[in-house]
A and B are shown apart, each in its own frame.
Chain A
Amino acid sequence: MSRPDRREASQLRALNCSLGQLNRADGSAQFSAGNTSVVSGIYGPVEAKVYEEKLDRAVVEVKFRPDIGAPTTKDKWMESAIRNTFEREILTHLHPRTLVQIVIQLREGDGSVDSAAINATSLALVDAGIPLKCMITAATCAVLSDDTTVVDPTQEEIDAARSTHTFAFASGSSTGPLYVDSRGDFTMDEYNHCYDLCALATERVLAFMRTAIEGKVTKEAKISAA
Chain B
Amino acid sequence: MVAEIGPSNIESAFLLEALKKGTRVDGRGIYDYRTLKISCGPTYGLAEVQLGQTRVLARVSCEVTRPFPDRPTEGIVLFNTELSSMAGFGLDSSRSSTQEVAISRMVERVIKQSRAIDSEALCILAGEKVWTIRIDVHFLDHGGNLIDAASIAAIAALKHFRRPDVTIDGEEAIIHDVRERNPVPLSIHHTPICVTFGFFGASGDMLVLDPTLLEEQVQVSSFTITLNSHREICALNKAGGIPLSPDQIQRCTQVALAKVDEVNEKIQLALKASTA
Do the two shown chains form a genuine complex with each other? yes
Interface residues of A (CB under 8 A from B): 21-26, 28, 35, 39, 41, 43, 45-47, 63, 65, 67-70, 101, 103, 105, 107-108, 110
Interface contact B138-A105, CB-CB below 8 Å: yes
Taking CB atoms, residues of chain B closer than 8 Å to A105 are 57, 84, 86, 138, 140
Chain B 124-165, CB within 8 Å of chain A: the 1/0 string?
Answer: 000000000010101011110000000000000000000000
A-B contact sample (17 more), CB < 8 A, given A24-B87, A43-B85, A108-B42: A21-B55, A22-B55, A22-B86, A35-B43, A41-B86, A46-B1, A47-B2, A63-B84, A67-B136, A68-B59, A68-B61, A69-B134, A103-B84, A103-B85, A103-B86, A105-B57, A108-B43
CB distance from B49 to the nearest CB of A (A): 13
Interface residue B46 (Cβ < 8 Å from any Cβ of A): yes
Contact of A46 among B55, B89, B142 (CB under 8 A): B89
Please name the residue on chain B nearest to A28 by beta carbon: B86
Q: With A and B bound together, what is the CA distance between A28 and B88 in angstroms?
A: 12
Q: With A and B bound together, what is the CA distance between A65 and B92 in angstroms?
A: 12
Q: Which of B1-31 contact A (CB under 8 A)?
A: 1-3
Offer 25 A-B interface pairs, CB within 8 angstroms, sorted by A. Answer: A24-B88, A24-B89, A35-B42, A35-B43, A39-B140, A41-B85, A43-B1, A43-B89, A46-B2, A47-B2, A63-B85, A65-B82, A67-B59, A67-B136, A68-B61, A69-B80, A69-B136, A101-B85, A101-B89, A103-B85, A103-B86, A105-B138, A107-B57, A108-B43, A108-B46
CB distance from A165 to the nearest CB of B (A): 25
Query: How many residues on the B side are at the interface (Cβ–Cβ under 8 A)?
Result: 27
Interface residue B53 (Cβ < 8 Å from any Cβ of A): yes
Once A69-B80, A105-B84 are accepted as A-B contacts, the answer to whether A24 and B143 lie under 8 Å apart by CB is yes
Taking CB atoms, residues of chain B closer than 8 Å to A22 are 55, 86, 140-141
Please name the residue on chain B nearest to A34 by beta carbon: B42
Q: With A and B bound together, what is the CA distance between A26 and B85 in angstroms?
A: 12
Taking CB atoms, residues of chain B closer than 8 Å to A110 are 43
Q: With A and B bound together, what is the CA distance between A103 and B84 in angstroms?
A: 8
CB distance from B213 to the nearest CB of A (A): 8
Taking CB atoms, residues of chain B closer than 8 Å to A46 are 1-3, 89
Taking CB atoms, residues of chain A closer than 8 Å to B3 are 46-47
CB distance from B81 to the nearest CB of A (A): 11
Please name the residue on chain A nearest to B80 by beta carbon: A70
Considering the complex of A and B, which 9 residue pairs feature the smallest CB-CB distances, nearest first? A41-B86, A103-B86, A23-B53, A43-B89, A22-B141, A68-B61, A108-B43, A46-B1, A103-B85
Taking CB atoms, residues of chain A closer than 8 Å to B142 are 24
CB distance from B82 to the nearest CB of A (A): 7
Please name the residue on chain B nearest to A23 by beta carbon: B53
Taking CB atoms, residues of chain A closer than 8 Å to B138 are 65, 105
CB distance from B52 to the nearest CB of A (A): 9
Taking CB atoms, residues of chain A closer than 8 Å to B61 are 68
Residue from the set A41, A70, A110 with the largest chain B CB neighbour count within 10 Å: A41
CB distance from B253 to the nearest CB of A (A): 31
Taking CB atoms, residues of chain A closer than 8 Å to B48 are 107
Please name the residue on chain B nearest to A99 by beta carbon: B89
Taking CB atoms, residues of chain A closer than 8 Å to B2 are 46-47
Taking CB atoms, residues of chain B closer than 8 Å to A41 are 85-86, 140
Please name the residue on chain A nearest to B135 by beta carbon: A68
